[in-house]
């Protein structure tokens, strides 16, 4: 049983239930991932009480660039293409995410529109934590919520640094 109700997301996908029912499977997938590295098994079990699991078929859109969002998803199985709309409205794959990857962190933090689309390139199972779930976690387990948010911010900063380096490299190549 989840500590939070089913979020009104992904009505067209299979809802698998609260992630607490899958804590063992979630632990095996995410324990080495960047978002949950450093979390103990009991901490992950608690976090699972504030997440929900879904299953998506190949080609399902999990996040849509430009849409509102207030949740993060964690890929548990399968692969997801991260795509940005190009200058001629074409979808450009900028990254691929697999088990243990998190997607949508920026919108969880700032509530702004999605900066990229995420599309399943094969069947995918994933867990979702909404801002409402995070707020419940903050009330029930503030230290754990703080640890989660710090890890989330570390991932965002790492991606920002990586993007900055790639931009500089791209500019240097175009000037040569």
Structure confidence by residue, pLDDT tens digits, 46-70: 999 999 999 999 999 999 999 999 9
Q: Reply yes or no on whether the pLDDT at 125 is more than 70.
A: yes
Of 30-39, 63-72, 105-114, which has the strongest mean pLDDT?
Answer: 63-72
- Cα 8 to Cα 13: distance, rounded to the nearest angstrom: 11
Element (H, E) at 156: helix 142-175
Provide, rounded to the nearest whole percent, the portion of the chain with pLDDT above 70. 94
Band (pLDDT 50/70/90 cuts) for residue 172 is low
Band (pLDDT 50/70/90 cuts) for residue 22 is very high
Q: Cβ contacts of residue 63 below 8 Å, gap of 6+? A: 69, 73, 103, 104, 114, 116, 117, 118
Q: Reply yes or no on whether the pLDDT at 173 is more than 70.
A: no
Looking at residue 13, its pLDDT comes to: 96
In the block, which residue shows the tokens 């920026």?
106
**Total-model pTM:** 0.88
């Amino acid at each position: 049983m989840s500590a939070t109700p089913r979020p009104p997301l992904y009505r067209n996908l299979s809802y698998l239930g609260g992630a607490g029912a899958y804590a063992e499977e979630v632990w095996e997938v995410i324990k080495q991932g960047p978002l949950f590295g450093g979390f103990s098994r009991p901490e992950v079990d608690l976090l699972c009480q504030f997440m929900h699991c879904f299953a998506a078929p190949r080609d399902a859109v999990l996040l849509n660039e430009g849409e509102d969002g207030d949740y993060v998803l964690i890929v548990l199985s399968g692969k997801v293409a991260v795509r940005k709309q190009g200058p001629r409205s074409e979808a450009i794959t900028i990254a691929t995410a697999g088990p243990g990857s998190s997607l949508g962190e920026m919108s969880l933090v700032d509530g702004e529109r999605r900066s990229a689309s995420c599309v399943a390139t094969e069947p995918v199972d994933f867990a979702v934590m909404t801002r409402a779930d995070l707020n419940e976690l903050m009330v029930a387990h503030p230290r754990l919520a703080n640890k989660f948010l710090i890890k989330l911010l570390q991932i965002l900063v790492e991606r920002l640094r990586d993007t900055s380096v790639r931009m500089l490299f791209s500019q240097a190549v175009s000037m040569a």
